[in-house]
Structure 1
Amino acid sequence: MSAQSNARPVIIKRKKIVQGGGHHGGAWKVAYADFVTAMMAFFLLMWLLNATTEKQRKGLADYFSPTIPINRVSGGGDGDFGGDSVFSEETLIRNGTGATQRRPTEADRARGDLSDQAAELAKMKEAFDTLLQGMSGESTVTRNLQRHILTRVTDEGLVVELFAVEGAPLFEPGSDAPTALMRALAELMVELGGLVTNALAIEGHTKAAPVVLRDNPVWDLSTARANALRRLLESSGVRAGRMQRVTGHADREPATDDPMAARNNRMEVIFLRSDI
């Protein structure tokens, strides 16, 4: 009995094991990576907005717009981040793979290389501007005419815009009867047209009429005035064969924010490119 009482007691230790959740997967890593990528794109956007001009931002927007065709041989810009849309009427397409919808070709297809045509139109505009500036010193009458003339080059040709101002209309109000100012401008167009042999197109524009009118005359009036200018040019010496088209645009293409401003009463004489 004494031997058993001196034996060491047996101690059983039970270790409590807590089972964890185990491996939860890597979905959080994907979400975190997406978050970091989004933040990087956001800060890159903020940097671009701060480091670029308005014109460059417009070029970036046009580049990523799905409605703007981007082609290696045709673009309206003048280099990286040029910022001009290929649909800009103020910009000549570099190598010319097609026409705009606003100014389509007769065949509704590409016009070919524009490099020579661009140089031709630039020289024509320079010659016209030089002639107008040289004539401005001859008399007060010529200086008054010059303020009604604006020239610009488009992909269609050289546009000479003749516009009215308050107190100096081109036609009698509400009619196609030309004023003395319009007759003088027509004679000047004949003199300018004698410098080149390009075909001509005439387009008429009018200011918007009040909405209270029952019968809006703007379509008939713009067409009638374009025809009146055609008759003036032909009676002053322009060959009838040079006329390619006469168009009335009514009040659909205003030149100012105010569609009823007198500045919207204007005529456009277009010296067409020689390959049209």
Structure 2
Amino acid sequence: MSAGPNAPVIIRRKKVVAGGGHHGGAWKVAYADFVTAMMAFFMLMWLLNATTEKQRKGIADYFSPTIPLNRVSGGGDGSLGGDSVFTEDTLAHNGIGATNRAPTLRDAGASGQMHSEEDAALKELESMLLGGGGESMADDNTLRHIVTRVTDEGLIVELFSLEGDPLFQAGSEAPMPVLRDLVALVGRVFAFSTNKVAIKGFSRSHAVVLKVNPTWDHSLDRAEAVREMLSERLGDSRMERVSGHADRHPAVGNPMSMRNDRLEIVLLRSGSGG
């Protein structure tokens, strides 16, 4: 049976779905990156809350080290190659080299050993001065004017006045007999060493109504008087420097206390003069 001339034409189109229903996986990768980033963020927040400042500094140094990881840094082979790429004095050098924090560091082991040996020598002199190993060189009345300590500067022997027992005559640099005994004691002990000596003078404060403040003159003149007495025993060549500090560094809370009239005689460490 044939269709008439005016019959409608019907066209059937087949819908083709590409990928079999798959919508792509790029979003999964992006989501995984987001989850990883969030996990790292929350771990960072936890670490900041659960650690101390010192621990955080250690973690930061681990990721950005500022110290050499190896005690001996290889600089190359051969006679001109050197053992350390950080050497500054010679081409061949064993040590940890310089760092950002210690640009002049050479060999920490040798340096530490020398420092320890000098500490022991200074401690021995301190013991001799105070009678720590047996009978003291001075009586109890003299020793009550002395305080000693070993610092990075050297062995500091502090001599100070007491109420009713000053080191100097009132208002002058003339030494009292007790100060002469103290300086003689220090001179005998320091004679066992060849290190340089520094002398610092300090003064107690005076009433502000004074027309002229004598603290600067007192501190410097008294330090100079002690230098002259000490030079008679050790020689001028041992004297490195003399300084006056007025009342700028009181030893006790009351700036007008007699305790602030004092001197510091310092047996300097080797190489610390100047």
TM bucket (normalised to shorter chain) is 0.5 to 0.7
| Offset at residue 134 of structure 1 (A) | 5.6
Matches of 1:154 and 1:242 in 2, distance apart? 19
Name the counterpart of 2:82. Answer: none
Name the counterpart of 1:117. Answer: 115
Name the counterpart of 1:200. Answer: 197
| Offset at residue 119 of structure 1 (A) | 2.9
Q: Tell me if the contact between 1:117 and 1:273 (Cα under 8 Å) persists in the aligned partners.
A: no
Matches of 1:134 and 1:177 in 2, distance apart? 31
The residue type equivalent to 1:195 in the other structure is F
The residue type equivalent to 2:224 in the other structure is N
Name the counterpart of 1:171. Answer: 168
Work out which of the residue numbers 253, 259, 272 in structure 2 matches 1:263: 259
Structure 1 unmatched runs, 5+: 1-36, 49-56, 64-70, 74-94, 98-108
Residue 137 and residue 154 in structure 1: after superposition, are their counterparts in 2 closer, same or farther (change >3 A)?
A: closer
In the superposition, the TM-score normalised over structure 1's length comes to: 0.58
Is 1:160 the counterpart of 2:154 in the alignment?
no
Find the residue that maps to 1:165 and give its secondary structure: coil
Name the counterpart of 2:235. Answer: 239
Name the counterpart of 2:74. Answer: none
Matches of 1:39 and 1:212 in 2, distance apart? 62
Identity score, percent: 40
Matches of 2:131 and 2:152 in 1, distance apart? 25
Find the residue that maps to 1:162 and give its secondary structure: strand
Q: Tell me if the contact between 1:205 and 1:251 (Cα under 8 Å) persists in the aligned partners.
A: yes
| Greater gyration radius | 2
Task: Give the length in aligned residue pairs.
Answer: 198
CA deviations on 1:102-122 (whole Å, 9 max, x unpaired) are: xxxxxxx97976521343033
Q: Tell me if the contact between 2:129 and 2:186 (Cα under 8 Å) persists in the aligned partners.
A: no
Name the counterpart of 1:146. Answer: 143
Q: Tell me if the contact between 2:130 and 2:136 (Cα under 8 Å) persists in the aligned partners.
A: no
Matches of 2:221 and 2:150 in 1, distance apart? 25
Structure 2 unmatched runs, 5+: 1-43, 59-65, 69-95
Matches of 2:213 and 2:46 in 1, distance apart? 55
Find the residue that maps to 1:123 and give its secondary structure: helix
Matches of 2:178 and 2:133 in 1, distance apart? 16
Matches of 2:105 and 2:217 in 1, distance apart? 32
| Offset at residue 133 of structure 1 (A) | 1.4
Name the counterpart of 2:244. Answer: 248
CA deviations on 1:164-195 (whole Å, 9 max, x unpaired) are: 11111111111100000100001001111111
CA deviations on 1:175-229 (whole Å, 9 max, x unpaired) are: 1000001000010011111111100000001111111112101111100000000
Matches of 1:136 and 1:266 in 2, distance apart? 27
Matches of 1:118 and 1:233 in 2, distance apart? 28
CA deviations on 1:139-188 (whole Å, 9 max, x unpaired) are: 9x611111111111222211111111111111111110000010000100
RMSD of aligned alpha carbons: 4.1
Residue 172 and residue 118 in structure 1: after superposition, are their counterparts in 2 closer, same or farther (change >3 A)?
A: farther
The residue type equivalent to 1:152 in the other structure is R
Find the residue that maps to 1:178 and give its secondary structure: coil
Find the residue that maps to 1:245 and give its secondary structure: strand
Residue 123 and residue 260 in structure 1: after superposition, are their counterparts in 2 closer, same or farther (change >3 A)?
A: same
In the superposition, the TM-score normalised over structure 2's length comes to: 0.59
Matches of 2:105 and 2:263 in 1, distance apart? 26
Matches of 1:111 and 1:217 in 2, distance apart? 45
